[in-house]
Amino acid sequence: KNEVEQSPQNLTAQEGEFITINCSYSVGISALHWLQQHPGGGIVSLFMLSSGKKKHGRLIATINIQEKHSSLHITASHPRDSAVYICAVRRGNQFYFGTGTSLTVIP
Amino acid sequence: DVKVTQSSRYLVKRTGEKVFLECVQDMDHENMFWYRQDPGLGLRLIYFSYDVKMKEKGDIPEGYSVSREKKERFSLILESASTNQTSMYLCASSLSGEKLFFGSGTQLSVL
């Protein structure tokens, strides 16, 4: 069983919709990261969280340490948000990754 | 911004060849990582290094070795490439306790 589970695996949304991607983990962590990977592109870090909530533009990330759960929300989704979103947890100096959520936003 | 540079974007090699993948970062990060990414499996750690000349095995080190002679450079070596090593290889670096920075990846095909 993977230490980091994401859902859903695939998501298709209409432009403008509110999107939620979920991440659950089973181990103690130092921090949780949300990453974005565009097709053919490298991976960029969106958020690093150890508690509470962070917001950057239309993206919001939350974490509940007690429940070992995090969510990534995208408000007013746009086709350029189409990408794979990856949840990763850090324990010490190592990172453990979910298998990613592939998001497609249709105009 | 931190830059993590991987030497090749695409690479085609033959079975049995020795393959070198180079990664250089420009922000004095002590931690460097090599991952492979395969469809449905996510990112899997091959090796990581937390200091010059230091290395630790990750989850799938078999068939690979690494070298870190200088802080900014972390090399991944496939001693004798096999077809099951066809994959996307991603290098990353970080400061301890901070976020990861990734290179753009090397898509390796072993024929």
Sign of CA dihedral A42, A48, B101, B53: negative
Among A4, A30, A43, A96, the residue to mutate for chain B (most B Cβ within 10 A): A43
Query: Contact B99/A45, CB-based, under 8 Å?
Result: yes
In this prediction, residue A3 carries a pLDDT of 87
In this prediction, residue A2 carries a pLDDT of 74
Among A95, A96, A99, A101, the residue to mutate for chain B (most B Cβ within 10 A): A95
The answer to whether A23 and A15 are in contact (CB under 8 A) is no
CA dist B72 and A48 (Å) reads 23
Query: Contact B98/A33, CB-based, under 8 Å?
Result: no
**Owner of token pair 């690479």:** B11
* 3-state DSSP assignment of residue B85: helix
The answer to whether B31 and B93 are in contact (CB under 8 A) is yes
* 3-state DSSP assignment of residue A12: strand
B50 → closest Cβ in A30, A86, A93: A93
In this prediction, residue A82 carries a pLDDT of 96
Longest CA pairwise span in chain B (Å): 39
Looking at the complex, report in whole angstroms how far the Cα of residue B101 sits from the nearest Cα belonging to chain A: 7
A99 → closest Cβ in B42, B96, B104: B42
Interface of B with A (CB under 8 A): 31, 33, 40-43, 45, 48, 50, 90, 92, 94, 96-105
Other C-beta atoms within 10 Å of B65: how many?
Answer: 13
On chain B, the residues whose CB falls within 8 A of the CB of A88 are 43, 100
In this prediction, residue B69 carries a pLDDT of 95
The answer to whether A103 and A21 are in contact (CB under 8 A) is yes
Question: Chain B residue with minimal CA distance to A31?
Answer: B97
- Say how many CB pairs under 8 Å bridge A and B: 44
Sign of CA dihedral A36, A29, B102, B3: positive
Positions of chain A with pLDDT lower than 70, given as ranges = 1
Other C-beta atoms within 10 Å of B69: how many?
Answer: 9
Q: Name the β-bridge partners of A11.
A: A103
Positions of chain B with pLDDT lower than 50, given as ranges = none
CA dist B95 and B106 (Å) reads 23
B97 → closest Cβ in A30, A86, A88: A30
In this prediction, residue B40 carries a pLDDT of 83
